[in-house]
Structure 1
Amino acid sequence: MNIYKMEVKKGFKSVLIWSVICVLLNLLFLSMFPSMKDSGMQELLKTKLDAFPPALLNAFGLDDAPDFSKLEEYFAYVFQYLMMAGVIYGGLLGSKALIKEESEGTIEFLYAQPVKRSKIVTMKIFAAVTLFALFVIIMALSSILVSLAVKPSDLNTMDMILNYKLLFSGFFMVGLVFMAVGFAISAVVPHLRLAMPITIGLFFVTYLLGIFSDLIDKLSFLKYFSPFHFAMPADVVKQGIKSGDIVLSLVFITVATVVTYIIYRKKNFRL
């Protein structure tokens, strides 16, 4: 039984659904860029943002207001919302992976196969990473193609592509963090109906931790527990991805993956 192929085949439909929805939203956002660029939106935005406290603007990455006349900054601003959805999808891929057979009542068939539990986990991880990578590639290609159609003539195409490469690399990295955590959740919880809300809730809790770390100086350490803030699009466009954030992401992924193998190896299945 080829677990990897089976998992990819079963998850392909969800990739298409998520991709279509996110690509359409991406198309909608980017199609608005020409009108945003020419309608004085930058001045209007600055006027509105000046009314908010500096700490609040900093928490949402708006302390340095995005210049909507620049495609990279406009895209980074709207992309953060698509990235949130995509990262949640990555987490759900992990949180469903090891618990769905128990929830569907097919775990006995899987358990009866001459395959070690560690190999089951490995193949499911490879399949989830493949599906998420496919989703990110579709999003990246669609973003580049639409951006080419709306970009200003003075914007260098290669510079734009390199900026997008950074954005989607950060997206992929953060998605893998939540996927790894999702796998650990999947190995622990007894039912799929618990795994999914826990994963989504965990994302928003950690996202709020990142906001609090910017709002309150004494809580600045909380940013290390907010993987989404490791690759905030607005920061990535201006500063790139920091090496420290890459290391932290690898630590989260490694710890969550090790926990997954240890727990799943000892888990008592509900046959």
Structure 2
Amino acid sequence: MNAAIVFQSIKAHAKSAFFVGLGLSAVALMFAGLYDNMKHQIDTFSNILPDGIEAIIGNLATANTPEGWLSIELFAIFVPIGLSILGVVYGSSLIGREEESGTLELLLAGPTTRMKLVAQKFLALAKLLAIPALLLCLAVYIGTVWFPFSPDMGHVLAACASGWMLGLAFGSITFAAQAITGRRGIATAVGAGLFTALWLLNILSRLLDDWKDYEVFSIFYYFNNPGVLVDGMDWSKFMVLVSVVFVGFVLALFGLRKRDVGV
């Protein structure tokens, strides 16, 4: 495998990955610092907040523990949105930007085959999305040192891994759409549209009893918040995310292989 292609791809996008990671880390440290003062007021907030708000920010009934506290807002909103959007952006641009600039043909004119190029770009996608997930996990650990805050770090690591895989799932779908169509805009629309639809389905399935059975059709269900923070990794749900990533990767392999790119 040509490590130079992976390195250059990461280098071109690393700044945004670090900024997202730093943003998530700042929120995590804020949550860690607030927990000791807020934990005794959570029941009051839980009683006055409407169900619609809890469907978005997370279940306040679990928030009186450090793990449950992290599951509201941070892992209910910031982590899934941040990593999923980052996945869509990277999925559409890792090959798409080079295709638009005309450098894709130059890469494929050398010893790199189409399938190797897809594998290298996909590895870069996975590594880029790992950056904010790892920074977030590190920030939570720092929060346990700085503040009276002691979540199970094994559960936190599992939640960060689930967030990474969620972002990679949306990234792989977008990546496949770009490889198949050759259109960066179409790929972005596919990824963003799917994200929006499944996010709304996830919220509606929590709000409406009639929609409860449909929650399994949303990829956010398998992100498993707050379950992964409170109870640890649910490997069956995690493997669903892995399966989506694998399918996206295979579709991208065959999509670019069959498409005319001028080489």
Give the TM-score band, short-chain normalised.
0.7 to 0.9
- How far does residue 74 in structure 1 lie from its aligned partner after superposition? 1.0
Tell me, yes or no, if structure 1 residue 144 matches structure 2 residue 146.
Answer: no
Q: TM-score normalised to the size of structure 2?
A: 0.85
- How far does residue 125 in structure 1 lie from its aligned partner after superposition? 0.9
Q: How many residues align?
A: 259
Superposition pairs for residues 150-165 of structure 1, below 5 Å? 150-152=147-149, 155=150, 160-165=152-157
**Distance across 2 between alignment mates of 1:197 and 1:35:** 42
Tell me, yes or no, if structure 1 residue 75 matches structure 2 residue 67.
Answer: no
Instruction: Summarize the Cα distance change of 1:254–1:143 in structure 2 as closer, same or farther, 3 Å threshold.
Output: same
1:254 corresponding residue in structure 2: 246
- How far does residue 96 in structure 1 lie from its aligned partner after superposition? 1.7
Superposition pairs for residues 109-128 of structure 1, below 5 Å? 109-128=106-125
Superposition pairs for residues 129-208 of structure 1, below 5 Å? 129-152=126-149, 155=150, 160-208=152-200
Q: Is the 8 A contact 1:71 1:151 kept in 2?
A: no
Q: Is the 8 A contact 2:25 2:139 kept in 1?
A: yes
1:107 corresponding residue in structure 2: 104
What percent identity do the matched residue pairs reach?
22
Could you tell me which amino acid in structure 1 is paired with residue 108 of structure 2? Y
Superposition pairs for residues 228-247 of structure 1, below 5 Å? 228-247=220-239
Superposition pairs for residues 15-94 of structure 1, below 5 Å? 15-37=17-39, 40-49=40-49, 52=50, 56=52, 59-60=55-56, 62=58, 65-68=61-64, 70-80=65-75, 81-84=77-80, 85-94=82-91
- How far does residue 120 in structure 1 lie from its aligned partner after superposition? 0.3
Q: What's the RMSD between the two structures over aligned residues? A: 2.6
- How far does residue 103 in structure 1 lie from its aligned partner after superposition? 2.1
**Distance across 2 between alignment mates of 1:208 and 1:241:** 24
Structure 1 runs not aligned, ≥5 long: none
Q: Is the 8 A contact 1:213 1:219 kept in 2?
A: yes
Structure 2 runs not aligned, ≥5 long: none
Q: TM-score normalised to the size of structure 1?
A: 0.83
